[in-house]
Amino acid sequence: MLLAASLALPFSASALTLDYKGFYDRMDKLYEPDVNRMKLVFYFNHRKQHRPCRIDDGAILSHGKRLPLLIGDDQQLLLPFDRSLRESSAVIRVELENENQCDFAMQLQAEVLDKTHYSAEDVADIQLQMNTLMRAYAGIGFGWLQPEVKGLTFTLSSHSNARFSTPGAEALVVDDNGRLTLTVDQFPAGAELVFSQAPHSISPLM
């Protein structure tokens, strides 16, 4: 406790401290072969504006050292998967814009990897992997309490569109936030879902 406090001197008194162990234990489940398309996104959600809170500063503190904390374009925490940080009881310190309005959030997503074509089988496999991982996070004996993933939510990149590969298919409707929700049974027989640009993110539709 004294070590963490002394290392945190460059931060303001309102900086948040998070144990790295909890992040590591969640990321550890991503390395199972049956969930190889999954990733976790960690961020802080502005409860009034429904957007990620801006991270003004951050670091990983371990063994008297201050390690850099990488921040993604969408203000997500890009954390290393490092067992030595877990064993050393490392902590994460962050300073947030409007900290009193921000709640920690974790979202399960599928890796995009510049992919622009998705078959019904792709969507079904991603959906299966999401359900598998969510049951694992629910814990032994509690998987049945976890709500089922019914489909996928694709968040489109700016100026992007999506349509099925059937001849004459029109662009699919997205909401005001650029989101397209889709289930496997919406696919025409033999068709692929085609994006003009790779989607920005793929998350569960509950």
pLDDT tens readout for residues 65-123: 999 999 999 999 999 999 999 999 999 999 999 899 999 999 999 999 999 999 999 99
Q: Which residue in 117, 191, 103, 104 sits closest to 154, CA to CA?
A: 117
**Domain total of the chain:** 2
**Interior angle at CA 97, CA 95 and CA 101, nearest 5:** 105
Are 18 and 91 in a shared domain?
yes
Give pTM, 2 decimals. Answer: 0.86
Q: Can you give the pLDDT at residue 136?
A: 87
Are 99 and 118 in a shared domain?
no
Are 164 and 119 in a shared domain?
yes
Residue 115's contacts (CB-CB under 8 Å, 6 or more residues apart) are 198
Are 179 and 117 in a shared domain?
yes
> Which of residues 107, 124, 147 is at a domain's end?
107
Are 85 and 158 in a shared domain?
no
Are 12 and 100 in a shared domain?
yes
Q: Can you give the pLDDT at residue 1?
A: 21
Q: Can you give the pLDDT at residue 141?
A: 54
Question: How far apart are the C-alpha atoms of 29 and 26, rounded to whole Å?
Answer: 6
Residue 144's contacts (CB-CB under 8 Å, 6 or more residues apart) are none
DSSP 185: G
What is the token pair recorded at 145? 């309490």
Are 13 and 97 in a shared domain?
yes
Q: Which residue in 71, 58, 61 sits closest to 20, CA to CA?
A: 61
> Which of residues 56, 90, 107 is at a domain's end?
107
> Which of residues 76, 107, 138 is at a domain's end?
107
Question: How far apart are the C-alpha atoms of 87 and 19, rounded to whole Å?
Answer: 11
Q: What are phi and psi of 11, to 5 degrees?
A: -90, 160
Are 70 and 167 in a shared domain?
no
Domain that holds residue 201: 112-205
Mean pLDDT per 10-residue run, the chain (206 residues)?
Answer: 31 77 95 95 95 96 94 96 97 94 95 96 98 84 71 94 96 95 97 97 96
Q: Can you give the pLDDT at residue 15?
A: 83
Are 61 and 132 in a shared domain?
no
Question: How far apart are the C-alpha atoms of 2 and 58, rounded to whole Å?
Answer: 19
Are 103 and 174 in a shared domain?
no
Are 134 and 195 in a shared domain?
yes
Q: Can you give the pLDDT at residue 138?
A: 81
Q: Can you give the pLDDT at residue 8?
A: 36
Are 98 and 132 in a shared domain?
no
